[in-house]
Amino acid sequence: MNIKIRPNKKVFPFFMIISVFAILCMPKTTYSAQQSVSAKAVVIIGNSPTNDTTPNGWPTCGYIAQGPYSPPTHNVSPNRPAVDIQDENGTGDNIYSTHKGIVDNIFLNDPLGGNGILIRGDKYITLYAHLQGFAPGITVNQQINAGTLLGYRDSTGNAILPHVHYMIWDTSYNEISLTEFNSLVPPYSLLDTVTSTWGPCK
Ligand SMILES: [Zn+2]
């Protein structure tokens, strides 16, 4: 793995504030498009284009253990616009970028977020935290597409069970509203089981 770390003053305060750990989850996605898998990326046929910089779909499979703007940890700013997608048996499951962008930052061994990666698009930045590690070749400032494999699910940092903490900010790392967050993911309910929009999880 070729991992570079670039401290980001705007990001790290977040990890000092939030307490990230999972609890449950699971929803329902309406996405059922055909998928074709290549070495590093997944192309969704009949779904969102991989060059769309706006987040779309789910980055992995599992159940929604905690929703946005909800207790116990997603009711604490700036941690609110996030979901935990959990799978007790899902250590190592694939985590995909939900949009085109560049790798804005990668962090390792954060006490709260564990190993995580931030992807910057034109209007939003997404975070994928508690990862086991990163996909081969992922580096800061790398251009990626929606569906690019970023890393693998685990429970690094402050996490009770394997899950990905998936969060969406604006490009200044400000929180977006619950309504806006929900417009960027498929419809879901707490504890719904969801399927990755971008590729297989195993
Ligand atoms: Zn979380």
What domains, with CATH codes, occur in the chain?
A: 12-194 (2.70.70.10)
Q: Name, in order, each residue with C-beta under 8 angstroms of 85's C-beta and a sequence gap of 6 or more.
A: 25, 58, 59, 60, 61, 62, 63, 64, 65, 163, 164, 166, 194
Query: Quick one: pLDDT at residue 50?
Result: 80
Query: Which residues are near ligand 1, the ion (C-beta closer than 5 Å)?
Result: 20, 84, 165
Query: Quick one: pLDDT at residue 18?
Result: 42
Structure tokens at 84: 């935990």
- List, for residues 57-69, the tens digit of each pLDDT value: 999 999 999 999 9
Query: Quick one: pLDDT at residue 11?
Result: 43
- List, for residues 69-80, the tens digit of each pLDDT value: 999 999 999 999
| HEC sequence for 53-72 | CCCCCCCCCEEEEECCCCCC
Which range scores top for mean pLDDT: 13-17, 34-38, 47-51, 166-170?
166-170
- List, for residues 97-140, the tens digit of each pLDDT value: 999 999 999 999 999 999 999 999 999 999 999 999 999 999 99
- List, for residues 12-40, the tens digit of each pLDDT value: 444 444 433 333 333 333 333 333 334 44
Q: Name, in order, each residue with C-beta under 8 angstroms of 75's C-beta and a sequence gap of 6 or more.
A: 69
Q: What percentage of residues in the chain have a pLDDT greater than 70?
A: 76
46 CA from centroid of ligand 1 (Å): 30
Query: Quick one: pLDDT at residue 32?
Result: 32
98 CA from centroid of ligand 1 (Å): 17
7 pLDDT more than 60: no
113 CA from centroid of ligand 1 (Å): 9
136 CA from centroid of ligand 1 (Å): 25
Read off the DSSP letter of residue 14: H
131 CA from centroid of ligand 1 (Å): 12
Tell me the average pLDDT across 158-187. Answer: 97
